[in-house]
Amino acid sequence: MKKLLIMMLLILIALIGCQRGGDRAGGPPKIAFVMKTANNPFFIEMQKGAEQAAQRLGVNLIVQAADREVDVEKQMQIVENLIQAKVAALCVTPSGSREIVPAIDKANRAGIPVVIVDTRVDEKALSESHGKIAAFIGSDNYEGGKVAGEFLAKRLGGKGKVAVLEGIPGHETGDSRLRGFREAIKATPEIQIVASQTANWERDQGFNVFQNILQSHPDVQAVFACSDLMALGAVEAIAAAKKTGQIVVVGFDALAEARKAVEQGTMEATVAQSPATMGELAVENAYRLLKGEQIKPEITVPIKLITKENVTSQ
């Protein structure tokens, strides 16, 4: 009788393992990809890359996102629902670097591997919770900010007044870009940052914030925006002030519309970081984890400065 019970228990455990993330007939594994938002062209490209990888690998991919990048609570709710649904693996672009940690802990307890994409998790918070992620896949945002700062400093001839449109305060992606930019600007002390304000990654806020900056600092000569959407909002504010061509605009993400703006001359540069590649690599590596393979704990996607000289060749 005891042997029979042990055998039944082992069979039950095996069945649970086989069913995790798949259907009851042993279908393809379910990999969830939770993005910050589905309304930003950057994440639309990331989703395309993820879907292409899923189709190639025969994975059942579930893509979900909050309406706005600032909606951290909604993203947390989405992740928790997917954990309860027993997906096989989670790929997440965190809306909050610290706020995502409790969800990672829950996934750990449920035996669901977590791949973090684009935005790093706060290391201190993750260490304190004893949480674990399988891998981080993304570009070096600090280096990207530095590249943007070096370009802008050279474009201004080493002196001038600059404004900055920041991302969400405390958000690792924007903070790293900002730190890199400021570090580059330090090398040219005659460049003065006259205003540095958040526009929360959004185009309309980029317009409103930069419009206010133009009123307070009409002699501003350049703006660095931590994302292209904010940069494009600044371009619109510059046009409304009839100053097109008079203010240097540098963005980040190399969205299609930003590339067009660079080609037309309303933006000077943007930093490309290949979101489609990030999405593809995230699904590929999550799939490899489910097959029991080892993956690299950190996979860096290269960045590239896009200017008028190379925009048509990229």
163 and 237, same domain (yes or no): yes
- Whole-Å CA distances, 31 to 54, 86, 283: 9, 10, 7
SS3 per-residue string spanning the chain: CHHHHHHHHHHHHHHHHHHCCCCCCCCCCEEEEEECCCCCHHHHHHHHHHHHHHHHHCCEEEEEECCCCCCHHHHHHHHHHHHHCCCCEEEECCCCCCCCHHHHHHHHHCCCCEEEECCCCCHHHHHHHCCCCCEEEECCHHHHHHHHHHHHHHHCCCCEEEEEEECCCCCHHHHHHHHHHHHHHHCCCCEEEEEEEECCCCHHHHHHHHHHHHHHCCCCCEEEECCHHHHHHHHHHHHHCCCCCCCEEEEEECCHHHHHHHHHCCCCEEEECCHHHHHHHHHHHHHHHHCCCCCCCEEECCCEEEECCCHHHC
114 and 217, same domain (yes or no): no
191 and 244, same domain (yes or no): yes
84 and 188, same domain (yes or no): no
Q: What pLDDT does 314 receive?
A: 58
95 and 156, same domain (yes or no): no
225 and 287, same domain (yes or no): no
User: Which of 253, 273, 301, 287 is CA-nearest to residue 53?
Assistant: 287
133 and 145, same domain (yes or no): no
108 and 159, same domain (yes or no): no
- Does residue 84 lie in a domain region? yes
Q: What pLDDT does 169 receive?
A: 85
The pTM for the full model equals 0.81
Range(s) of the domain holding residue 190: 141-272
186 and 292, same domain (yes or no): no
Question: Which residues, listed in sequence order, are joined to residue 61 by a DSSP beta bridge?
Answer: 31
Report, as ranges of residue numbers, the positions in the chain whose pLDDT lies below 70.
1-26, 314
Q: What pLDDT does 7 receive?
A: 45
Q: What pLDDT does 68 receive?
A: 87
Q: What pLDDT does 16 receive?
A: 42
- Does residue 308 lie in a domain region? no
Q: How far is CA 269 from the centre of its chain?
A: 19
- Does residue 310 lie in a domain region? no
Q: Which two tokens stand for residue 172?
A: 């690792």
- Residue pair 256/288 in contact (Cβ under 8 Å)? The answer is no
